[in-house]
Amino acid sequence: MTDDSSRAFVPGHVTGFFSVHEADDPEQAGSRGAGLTLSEGVTVEVEPAVETSMQLNDEPAAIEAVTRVLGDLGVEARVTATTDLPIGAGFGVSGAAALGTALAANRTFDCGRSENELVTIAHTAEVEAGTGLGDVVAQARGGVPIRLDPGAPEYGRMDGVPARSRVEYLTLGERSTEEVLAGNTDRLSEVGVDMLVRLVEKPTLPTLLASSRKFAREADLLTPGVEDVLEDVADEGGEAAMAMLGETIFALGNGLTRAGYDAEACEVHPTGATLEMD
């Protein structure tokens, strides 16, 4: 990290279920739902530049939400993001990049914005870019967030499941969030609201995973490959679900390993996005 740059870490986030809520004001738009934040995440470094540019894992990248964040803050910067998480597979990488950029740019350029303001900027950028509806607010909170209301911090009430766990994940491929969100989401949202009620009544990790499995099936998002893995984990007595939106399975403990899969492992991240020390 250079003397005039700042760096932030944002946990990854997998959504188990959600409902879509549109609004004229993107700050009030978003999703309700629940998921897990992960100790694997995205590290974002921001430094002043004559012209804005971005790299993701040492490759030139163009993440619209990041560009929108910098535009909202009125700065030009070089943004360098690194992650070990799969891209485009339901881990909230674009949201993490946007939120990390907001936090790091605020310090680099002494923008004077509050934490909630920065989360709002990143959330709005994600919604307007069409790449996510609830990752940013979840990643700002950490833990096992439950999004009771849609929108940025001013509008979106949050709660959480008071638990931690080892988490395994397995990615079978990419899936376009934009394509799914651009389609008819009425049925998806109806099921998502039902699952939210179910989780709020019994806020435990097993309820989250069971509700997520039911959501994927009833919202017609479950793919054959993911379904096969979920069945294998269940046969071994494990708890697993499909990440929204991606060809990804996440499981508690060592559920995927016990079922014979070569899975990556991390933990539920106990806190939200943070700036790194100078």
Residues 6 or more apart whose CB falls under 8 angstroms from that of 220 comprise 187
Helix axes 186-201, 205-218, angle to 10 degrees: 160
Length of the chain: 278
Residue 147 predicted with pLDDT over 90: yes
What is the pLDDT, as a whole number, of residue 246?
Answer: 83
What pLDDT does 110 receive?
A: 97
| Percent of the chain whose predicted confidence (pLDDT) is above 90 | 89
Instruction: Supply the DSSP string of 51-83, one letter for each residue.
Output: S-EEEETTEE---HHHHHHHHHHT--EEEEEEE
Fold exhibited by the domain 161-267: Alpha-Beta Plaits (3.30.70)
Contact by Cβ (8 Å): 28, 155: yes
Helix (H) or strand (E) segment spanning residue 41: strand 30-48
> Which residues share a beta bridge with 145?
160
Asked if residue 3 has pLDDT above 90, the reply is no
Band of the pLDDT at 179, cuts 50, 70, 90? Answer: low
Lowest mean pLDDT among 12-26, 99-113, 165-179: 165-179
Query: How far is CA 193 from each of CA 17, 185, 222, 244, rounded to the nearest angstrom?
Result: 9, 12, 18, 15
Give me the pLDDT at residue 42, please: 98
- Indicate if the pLDDT at residue 100 is higher than 90: yes
Least confident of 29-33, 177-181, 189-193: 177-181
Map out the domains of the chain as residue ranges: 6-159, 161-267
Domain 6-159 top-level CATH class: alpha beta
- pLDDT tens figures, 203-249: 999 999 999 999 999 998 999 999 999 999 999 999 999 999 889 99
CA 265 vs CA 146, 246, 250: distances in Å? 22, 17, 10
pLDDT digits (tens, 9 = 90+) for 40-50: 999 999 999 99
* pLDDT tens digits for range 114-138: 999 999 999 999 999 988 999 999 9
**Cα–Cα distance measured from residue 235 to residue 277, given in angstroms and rounded to the nearest whole number:** 45
Q: Which residues are 249's β-sheet partners?
A: 170, 242
